[in-house]
Structure 1
Amino acid sequence: MIRQAQADDFKGIARVHVDCIHTGYQAILPTDTIEKFTYSSREQRWENDLPKTISGGTMNFVAVDEQGKIIGFALGGTMRDPRLRIAYTGEIYGIYIHPNAQGKGIGKQLFKAVTEHLLSLHHTSIALWNFKEHHSCNFFKHLDGKEVYEKSTVIGGKELLECAYGWEFAKKENVLN
């Protein structure tokens, strides 16, 4: 089930975030960067930041399993990157699915929830950033995302290539039909 996040979801979101970073980014991010992602540090950050991501133009959605446990989350809002802002007004800030729940269509449902929220705010052009080496690039291509921009970034002394995927929607009905 997909629902809007609530302020008390911070522990579940933190768990998914940390587990995704530790399993999905080992070959991409430096080890010391990954080690900074701990449950306690992410819980503290999400407890502080979550209230800002569940109202107004920014929205955070969670996927929960049958027991009500958070197994994924996604958030989006207004485009932050000036390089993309000319062509894309909405941004998906992140989609994370717990490693044990990947490959079950949850990411697609979260993508749809965030996209529909952004479309309700009249963002008909939406983009997101992703590390070029990350396996989720195939997921975004599968969702008809077009690679629209690349940039180099340095994290923990390691140079990484990021790519932006973009979508343009004429109207709300076009989302993942």
Structure 2
Amino acid sequence: MIRKATWADAPAIASVHVESWKTTYSGIVPDAYLETLSVREKQPLWEKVLSESDHSLFVAEENGRVVGFVSGGRNRATEGPIAKYDGELYAIYLRKEVQRKGLGRQLVQALVGDLAQKGVRSMVVWVLADNPSRGFYERLGGENIAQEEVEIGGKPLLEWCYGWKDIQMMKP
């Protein structure tokens, strides 16, 4: 089941966030950094996000348990070619055991529908180039439109930006 997130979901969202980082980015992001991630640290972040009306946040539930989430809103880029896109998918994470079952696509569809109602017509997402799930965005029709170097845990990493000029044309 996909539904809008509520304030009560903040601990579960934080848990999925931390667990997903640890499983997805192991071997990519320094282990020392991953070991510092905690639900206690992330929960206030998600409580803040849930209090922002311009933020779209949906959860995926399986057997009454939150197993994934997606968040998005207006594009945070203010200059350059990426700034011409209206919206941004800020984060999407699923517990490892529920990946590759279609929940990610359902979450993105919920986000796109919500953003479209808010007047968003195009969208970007930033993804670590070494992320093993990067192909997910390509299968949705995203085009690699930019890249930049970021630093996580003291390690330089490459991020790719995928864009959709028309979110209504995303591959279901």
Normalising by structure 1, we get a TM-score of 0.90
- Corresponding residue for 2:89? 92
Aligned residue in 2 for 1:161: 158
Give yes or no for the alignment of 1:102 onto 2:99: yes
CA distance in 2 between counterparts of 1:158 and 1:94 reads 21
* Superimposed CA distance per residue, residues 42-70 of structure 1 (whole angstroms, 9 cap, x where no aligned partner): 22332343322xx2x311000001x2110
Contact 1:74 1:114 in 2 (8 A): yes
Give 2:155's aligned amino acid: K
Q: Deviations over 1:14-72 (max 9, x none)?
A: 111111011110111112221121122222332343322xx2x311000001x211010
Do structure 1's residue 138 and structure 2's residue 135 form an aligned pair? yes
CA distance in 2, matches of 1:45, 1:118: 21
Taking the aligned partners of 1:118 and 1:74, their CA distance within structure 2 comes to 12
Structure 1 residue 120: deviation in Å?
1.3
Instruction: Give the length in aligned residue pairs.
Output: 171
Unaligned runs of 5+ in 1: none
Gaps of 5+ in 2: none
Q: Is the 8 A contact 2:87 2:124 kept in 1?
A: yes
Q: Give runs of ≥4 in structure 1 deviating > 4 Å.
A: none
Asked if 1:14 is matched to 2:14, the reply is yes
CA RMSD of aligned residues (A): 1.6
Q: Do the aligned partners of residues 130 and 73 (structure 1) sit closer, same or farther apart at CA in structure 2, a change above 3 Å counting?
A: same
The amino acid of 2:159's aligned partner reads E
Q: Is the 8 A contact 1:74 1:96 kept in 2?
A: yes
1:109-149 CA distance string (max 9 Å, x none)? 01111111111112111001000000121100011100000
Query: Which residue of structure 2 lines up, in the alignment, with residue 79 of structure 1?
Result: 75
Contact 2:145 2:163 in 1 (8 A): yes
Cα distance in 1 between the residues matched to 2:30 and 2:6: 32
Length-normalised TM-score, structure 2? 0.92
